[in-house]
């Protein structure tokens, strides 16, 4: 698994029933490139339908609550996303850390909740532009990773995504050497957090990846795939990223 690239599309707050034709087209592209693992995380309103229409394609969610049930208006549990057809969840995305004020402890609890039901987790970490400019990028990212890291983590269900926050949706992309440095630091931190298996955990790059830069980014050491935002919304834009992963 560690040698297989993992390309995950995060549709964020985009997508209506009428746009599920793109999901089907993406699933077809993924099926034609079976050496790459491909998944999409649509909004919750589409998860059940997307899963039913594309039974052999991996569908995830963009968040999950850490409690099994209760008075948590607007939230959804691991059992609920599993019943809807999701097989994993993105957790701790930078937008949720910033906008919903999610803490490392909450993200850790969420990861343990999804794992308890046999689901996968993608834990996101990343620094702001101010933190990078202050020379604290590695310190911040490794601190988030340590604080969010779930108990009993294993590469069979855990993936890490590095998001340079200042590059998400801006079109700005760090230099390859900067990506390599951060992914190497994450790898080394994983070795201190896990008894074994750290080398097999895939570390995705998530910052304005598109068809034009995917090949270069995916060729960087310790980059195990991509967490893709806007470029995952259509098969036309997402397909070239999947194809780039085949040869990287």
pLDDT in tens, 105-121: 999 999 999 999 999 99
> Does one domain contain both 52 and 99?
no
Is residue 244 within 8 Å of 25, Cβ to Cβ? no
CA distances from 242 to 104, 163, 220 (A): 31, 19, 16
| Same domain assignment for residues 19 and 79 | no
pLDDT the model gives residue 62:
98
The set of catalytic residues is: 93, 163
Q: What is the model's pLDDT at position 172?
A: 76
C-alpha to C-alpha distance for 243 and 218, rounded to whole angstroms = 11
Tokens 């590095």, residue located: 162
Residue 153 included in any domain: yes
Instruction: Look up tokens 């270069």; give the residue.
Output: 216
Give domain status of residue 21, yes or no.
yes
User: Tens digit of pLDDT for each residue in 149-175?
Assistant: 999 999 999 999 999 998 877 777 789
pLDDT of 248: 84
Burial of 105 from C-beta contacts in 10 A (0-12 / 13-18 / 19+): exposed
Is 245 inside any structural domain? no
**CA 11, CA 200: separation in Å to the nearest integer?**
27
Nearest to 165 by CA among 174, 176, 157, 156: 174
Q: Reply yes or no on whether the pLDDT at 2 is more than 70.
A: no
| Residue 75 pLDDT | 96
Domain assignment present for 72: yes
> How many domains does the chain fold into?
2
In a shared domain, residues 17 and 114:
no
Indicate whether 166 belongs to any domain: yes
What phi and psi values does residue 53 have, to the nearest 5 degrees? -80, -25
Return the percentage of the chain with pLDDT > 70, whole number: 99
Across the range 58-66, mean pLDDT stands at 98
CATH number for the domain harbouring residue 112: 3.20.20.70
What integer best gives the mean pLDDT of the chain? 96
User: Has this prediction a pTM greater than 0.75?
Assistant: yes
Q: Following DSSP, what letter does each residue of 149-217 receive, concatenated?
A: PPTT--TTTEEEEE--GGGTTTS----HHHHHHHHHHHHHHHHHH-SS-GGGS-EEE-SS--TTTHHHH
Domain span including residue 98: 59-226
Q: In this structure, is residue 243 part of a structural domain?
A: no
pLDDT score at 1: 56
């Amino acid at each position: 698994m560690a040698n297989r690239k993992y390309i995950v599309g995060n549709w964020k707050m985009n997508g209506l029933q009428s746009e599920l034709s793109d999901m089907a087209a993406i699933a077809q592209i993924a099926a034609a490139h079976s050496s790459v693992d491909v998944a999409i995380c649509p909004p919750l309103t589409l998860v059940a339908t997307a899963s039913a229409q594309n039974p052999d394609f991996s569908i995830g969610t963009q968040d999950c609550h850490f409690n099994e049930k209760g008075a948590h208006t607007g939230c959804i549990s691991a059992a609920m996303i599993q019943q809807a057809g999701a097989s994993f969840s993105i957790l701790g995305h930078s937008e949720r850390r910033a906008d919903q004020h999610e803490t490392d402890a909450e993200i850790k609890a969420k990861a343990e909740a999804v794992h308890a039901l046999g689901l996968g987790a993608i834990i996101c970490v990343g620094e702001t532009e101010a933190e990078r400019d202050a020379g604290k990028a590695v310190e911040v990212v490794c601190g988030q990773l340590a604080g969010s890291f779930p108990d009993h983590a294993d590469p069979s269900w855990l993936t890490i995504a590095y998001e340079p926050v200042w590059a998400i949706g801006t079109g700005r992309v760090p230099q390859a050497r900067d990506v390599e440095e951060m992914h190497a630091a994450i790898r080394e931190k994983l070795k201190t957090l896990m008894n074994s298996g750290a080398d097999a955990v895939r570390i995705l790059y998530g910052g304005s990846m598109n068809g034009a830069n995917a090949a270069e980014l995916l060729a960087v050491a310790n980059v195990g795939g991509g967490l893709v935002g806007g470029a995952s919304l259509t098969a036309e834009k997402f397909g070239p990223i999947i194809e780039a992963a085949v040869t990287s």
